[in-house]
Structure formats: C-alpha cells, structure tokens
Chains A and B, each alone.
Chain A
Amino acid sequence: MTTGQQALEETVDLAVPTHMTVSGRSHTLRVEPWTSLLDLLREGLQLTGSKKGCDHGQCGACTVLVNGVRVNSCLCLAVMHDGDAITTIEGLGSEGNLSTMQQSFVDHDGYQCGYCTPGQICSAVGMLNEGHARTEADIREQLSGNVCRCGAYPNIVAAVKHVMGMGQTEGGR
C-alpha cells in the first residue's frame, strides 16, 4: 500500500464503492483500488486473524474463503470482491465455540507458534469443500500452499485426517 502518485490521489478520488459480507457481517465500503483484500480485512475491518507472511502468494498465511473457495487474500484486490461473501478464521468459530476443524487442530497440536494456523485451517476447510482429497498423500499435496516454518506438518495432517474420519496417525507420522 505505497502511495506513489500523491498528486494523483489528491486531485482524483479513485476509491470504488464495494459491498461485501465478511463472516456473515455486511459491509458497504469505499475502497482504494490498490488495497489488497488482506489489508482491508486486517487494517480496514480490524480482523487480524488472517496473517501476512510473504504478501506474494508464496506462504498461504493469508488464506480466506471467498464464496466458500480458498484463495490467497494478499493477491486479491479488495475492489474485485464486490458482492462476494468472505469467510475468515474469525467466521469459522469463536472461543468456546470452535468449529470441528479448529478443535481438531487444538486436539492434535496442529501448530507451534500459530502464525500459519488461521491460513492452514481456512485452507483445510476449503479443501474439504472442494472434495478432491481421499488419501494422506492428497491432503499433503492439496495443502502444499500453506507453509509452516515451525514444521508442524505431521500434526496438521493428523488434525485434518481426523476431521475427514480417516482415523488417528500414530506418533504424528
């Protein structure tokens, strides 16, 4: 969100009316076109659950669901989501009322520092919506867009397998 052309900004208002639903709440906003969906969520709407890791589509920490489909919100321009329904980690569950996937991450220690976790969980939920994962190898491949620098992968896979009814993995294999 750098403002290169200050002059242009001062003379012309380039903001665009944008309506979107975020985790069930409807928002009518005026958005500057160069605002990413991730920055709008975190800075505009103060929903800081979605994380900024790389800001370039390389880590998955910013993963959210757009109309149920997982995408990297750092590479989305917010103005391009007029009319869309966005679900962030905040919309999946709340303290004391966690969703099945969130609870499974807790139960399986599917994180260490937790920075990648909101993206991992949104991505896992998106993967289940897509319905193409059958095996553990599928899970690993289809979650490869979410990088975990703590290396919590074995427990993440275990948490997802549990939700898919694929049974426990021993010793976090």
Chain B
Amino acid sequence: MNNFQYVRAEGLDGAARFVAGHVGAKFIGGGTNLVDLMKYNVEKPSSLVDLNRLSMRDVSELPDGGLRIGALVTNSDVAYHPTVSTRYPLLSRAILAGASAQLRNKATTGGNLLQRTRCVYFYDTATPCNKREPGTGCPAKEGINRTLAILGTSVSCIATHPSDMCVALGALGAVVQVTGPGGSRSIPFEQFHRLPGDHPEIDTTLAADEIITSVDLPRTGFAGHSAYIKVRDRQSYAFALVSVAAGLEVADGVIAKAGVALGGVAHKPWRNPQLEQELLVGRPANRDTYHEFQRALLAGAQGFGENDFKLKLAPVTVVRALEQAAHEGEQA
C-alpha cells in the first residue's frame, strides 16, 4: 500500500472541495473495496477523505412516500431495516445474498454502488488491463472470463459490475442523490452506472469530486411479488455468476407493473424499462410471457469462451425469478 494523507471530513462542502483540489484524492466509506484495492496497488490515492463523520447515516421517509437511505447506512442496516424488509423485500434479499456478515456490517450504501469489478486482470498489476491502465489491452477476452459480461461489452472491456444490492436498486428504480462543488443533482439508477465503450476506466457518471449523499427508493417496492435469484459457485460468500432481481404487481393474473434487472452479465445492472412496458405490463403472468420478455431483454448476448454458459443460464434465471415473484405468498 502506498503512503497517503488521511483527512476526516467535517462537512460535505469541505470534503468535496478537498477532493476537487487535490490530484489523486479519494473518498472512503467502509473501505472494504478501496482498502483491498490499495493493498494490491490497484488504487493509489494521494489522500483519503473519510466520510464517516458526516450525517448520512439515517433511513427516512420522503414526502412523496418514498424512502431515503443515507450513503453511510451500512449494507446490514439497510437489509434488516424493518421498513426496507417489509416494503422493499427485494432489496433486503439481494443485500443478504452478498458478501459476508462482517463485510455487510462495514460496507456502506454509497461504497457499494462504487465498488469495482472483480475481473482478475484488473486486480493483477502484472497484467495489462484497459480499466486499470487505459490503452494497455484486455486479456480477459481470450483469457479468464468465466465471471465476465455477455451483454453491453466493448472491444476494450468485458468486465461485470459485481454488486448484488445494485441489481435490486435497478429493478426498484432507485434515484442516487449526489452533491459536489458544482451543486447537487439526482441521478436515475439506470444512468448511474455506464457501459465500458471506449472508456472502461470510467464506471459511472459520478464525477471524482461528487459525494453520494443518499439513495432514494420510490413509493412502492413490489412488496407482494418479488424474487432475487443469485446463481454462484458456492452457496454463500461468493459473487454472482448470474443474478436476477424481479418485482411484479399482479392483478387478476395480469401484470400491472414490472421491474427486472440482471447482475453478473454486464458492466452495469442490466435493465430495459421499455421492454417491461411492452412485453410484461398488461400481459398474463405466465411462462410464455416471461420467455418472450427474456428473449428481447437478452437479445445480442455474446459469450467469450469460459462464460458461454451464461448464454443459457441467464434466460432460465430470468424466467425462474419472474415465476417465483408472481407466485410469492401463494402457498405458505
């Protein structure tokens, strides 16, 4: 790990201005991703600005009926929060499917959104990697890619975003609140993470000097019909190969509202609200509907060898998650 200066942030403005004014400065939340990457010399910040003394640790009701989760609320505290587990069970399930209890106790909401890929080349400074060092190449395409993307890839990068929580936030249609030297703004979840394109070194649309202050959930959260299915190499404490967060509102056997996102298949949680409107809403909640939707959602998927199995795994996981969501609560 390189030497660096440590600063305890006392206010949002000061923290953002410090990072804006110091090349290589970074924020730190729980540190479970950043400290790990620093030990591998993948991240080498000149200074760390510790956000933990800022007041972003509350879960609070919003005037519009939604729920605001402060950026410093730990993953455990979100998952077990009574309002979250009753009104947004999809989010609780996704968080509890990730990492370990120790890590969830330390990891923050803001940090979870900004965790970086687990691509082995990204972690290994002895190998080229466009995401770590732009322009050096992407050995994963012809190499170790079992865990990597099948959708939205580019010539320069096929990495996946590893978060479970973000897959649920995608399906729920969350909004990320951020603030920085240029002011505050709200970023719809689908616009927060980006596809790699020609700039795989950039994971999100957040600027380096912007702080995530909260993640806001909409008024309704598929409390009656939701499912999070995570397929992985071992039953616990492993990243997703493919995961699906599915939420439905069903009335008289017909889908009234839907939110479906996939993890482990792309550089961001994979969701298409337009297809949900066209192929799920207003249709009968049955397998034929789910298959037609799945075919459209996953159109153009492409494997790179080791990860070809995801081309078969992703479709069946989408269908299974939708079936499980639709039938939730039916038999005790």
Which A residues contact B (CB, under 8 angstroms)? 1-5, 8-9, 12, 14, 16, 32-34, 36, 55-57, 60, 63, 69-72, 75-77, 79-80, 82, 123, 126-127, 130, 132, 140-146
Contacts and interface: CB of A to CB of B under 8 A. Distances in A.
Given A56-B36, A77-B35, A72 B236 contact: no
Given A33-B5, A75-B35, A77-B35, 14 more contacts: A2-B2, A3-B3, A5-B2, A12-B5, A14-B4, A33-B4, A34-B2, A34-B4, A56-B39, A72-B106, A80-B28, A126-B105, A130-B76, A130-B80
Given A71-B106, A77-B35, A14 B5 contact: yes
Nearest to B48: A33
Nearest to A4: B2
Contact of A70 (B80, B99, B101, B237): B101
A76 B106 contact: yes
A126 to B, nearest CB: 7
B1 A63 contact: no
B32 interface: yes
A79 B5 CA distance: 11
A36 B80 contact: no
Looking at chain B's contact residues, the main secondary structure is mixed
A3 B41 CA distance: 12
A75 B101 contact: no
Nearest to B79: A132
Contacts of B31: 75-77, 80
Contacts of B52: 80
Interface string B15-53: 000000000000010011001101100000000101010
Given A14-B6, A77-B6, A57 B103 contact: yes
A36 B35 contact: yes
A8 to B, nearest CB: 5
Contacts of B274: none
Contacts of A3: 3
A32 B4 CA distance: 9
Interface in B98-120: 99-103, 105-106
Nearest to A16: B6
Interface of B: 1-6, 8, 28, 31-32, 35-36, 38-39, 48, 50, 52, 76, 80, 99-103, 105-106, 236-237
A142 B101 contact: yes
Nearest to B6: A33
B279 to A, nearest CB: 35
Nearest to B104: A145
Contacts of B48: 33, 77
B256 to A, nearest CB: 33
Contact of B102 (A4, A5, A55, A71): A71
A8 B46 CA distance: 11
Given A69-B105, A76-B31, A80-B50, A57 B36 contact: yes
Given A56-B39, A80-B50, A70 B5 contact: no
Contacts of A144: 100-101, 236-237
A70 B105 contact: yes
B200 to A, nearest CB: 23
B6 A72 contact: no
A57 to B, nearest CB: 6
Contacts of B3: 3-5, 8-9, 14, 32-34
Contacts of A34: 1-4, 38
24 contacts: A1-B1, A2-B1, A4-B2, A4-B3, A5-B3, A9-B3, A14-B5, A16-B6, A34-B1, A55-B39, A56-B36, A60-B100, A71-B102, A72-B106, A75-B32, A75-B103, A77-B35, A77-B48, A79-B50, A140-B236, A142-B101, A144-B100, A144-B237, A145-B237
Contacts of B103: 57, 72, 75, 145
